[in-house]
Amino acid sequence: MKKNSSMTVHSLLTLAWILISLYLAFIFAPNEANQGNVYRIMYIHVPCAWSALVGYTVIFAGSVGYLWKRSQFADDLAYAGAEVGFIFCCCLLITGPLWAKPVWGVWWVWDPRTTLTFVLWLLFVGYLLLRTFFVNPAQAALLSAVVGIIGFVDVPIDYMAIRWWRTQHPQPVIMGGPDSGLPPRMEIALFTSIGAFLCLFFYLLRQRLHMGTARRDLEQLRRGETATEF
Amino acid sequence: MGNANNEYLFLAYTIVWIVFMVYAWSLSRRQSRLTKELEEIKKRVLAKDEHSAPKV
């Protein structure tokens, strides 16, 4: 019952936070001088980006835990992080072009940030395909853990891409240096949105992790049932 | 440029929230199915244990 009530609290907190962030994004935050209303896509695009990067970081942490300690929980955590992170990465790659088209005039450019984000998406896909198509669960866990650790190289490079290189993608507005930043109301709206999406990410992660653990219990019970039949 | 390109804004928010709602619903459905299967297997295992327990 404790887990159920904590999930209920988490879901209500997430919902409230999302509603507040929507209010801030559409009502509180001012219009942008050059882009007009369309810039408000930032209040879902940037949070999706953060959540996708956190998602792969969860894969990395779980993969290290699995390879180091052969922890089933760590493996379940990595798989859960992959699935939930993939969803946020898809939303990131959907909102990006929807923002780019009216502002840049094109749906996509292959600059360092966008390319590395696409690579991140491919890493999520690769990880999930390995988990789905390897019949032997131990083999799947091992290979996925290797992909989870090696693929993590993309995360810091993707994050730093707009700082290291001149890109079509906008320069950072968070911790970007002396000339970067947003007006205060936009900043409040953005940080609230990032918090809301991370809250949603961890809620979905907990749900998915709980499901993964239940699936593992089911498989163990099935194996036990089959063994007693023989 | 205030109201121009509002369709992109509308599309972005609509797609993202539909994706999250569909995913949350899918998770919930998968969880319910797993819980149901777990209960059924537990019942079968318990029934087998009772059947094979020595009668005193």
Q: DSSP of A158-190, one letter per residue?
A: HHHHHHHS--SSPPPSSS--TT----HHHHHHH
If 0-12 CB within 10 Å is exposed, 13-18 middle and 19+ buried, where does residue B24 land?
Answer: middle
Output the DSSP codes for A218-229: HHHHHHHHHHHH
A102/chain B closest Cα distance in angstroms: 6
Domain-located, residue A5: no
Nearest neighbour of A98 by CB, restricted to B3, B8, B41:
B8
Residue B41 sits at the chain A interface (C-beta within 8 Å): yes
Cβ–Cβ below 8 Å for A102 and B27: no
Give, for all 230 residues of chain A, the pLDDT tens digit: 456 889 999 999 999 999 999 999 999 999 888 888 999 999 999 999 999 999 999 999 999 999 999 999 999 999 999 999 999 999 999 999 999 999 999 999 999 999 999 999 999 999 999 999 988 888 999 999 999 999 999 999 998 888 887 777 776 666 556 556 788 899 999 999 999 999 999 999 999 999 998 888 888 888 777 766 54
- Provide the number of CB pairs (under 8 Å) joining chain A to chain B: 92
Nearest neighbour of B19 by CB, restricted to A34, A87, A218:
A87
Domain-located, residue A2: no
CA pair distance A155, A143, nearest whole angstrom: 19
Let me know how long chain A is: 230
Residue B53 per-residue DSSP state: S
- Which residue range is the domain that position B21 belongs to? 1-56
Instruction: Give how many domains chain B has, as a whole number.
Output: 1
Nearest neighbour of A40 by CB, restricted to B9, B19, B34:
B9
Instruction: Give how many domains chain A has, as a whole number.
Output: 1
pTM: 0.90
- Which residue range is the domain that position A160 belongs to? 43-169+183-224
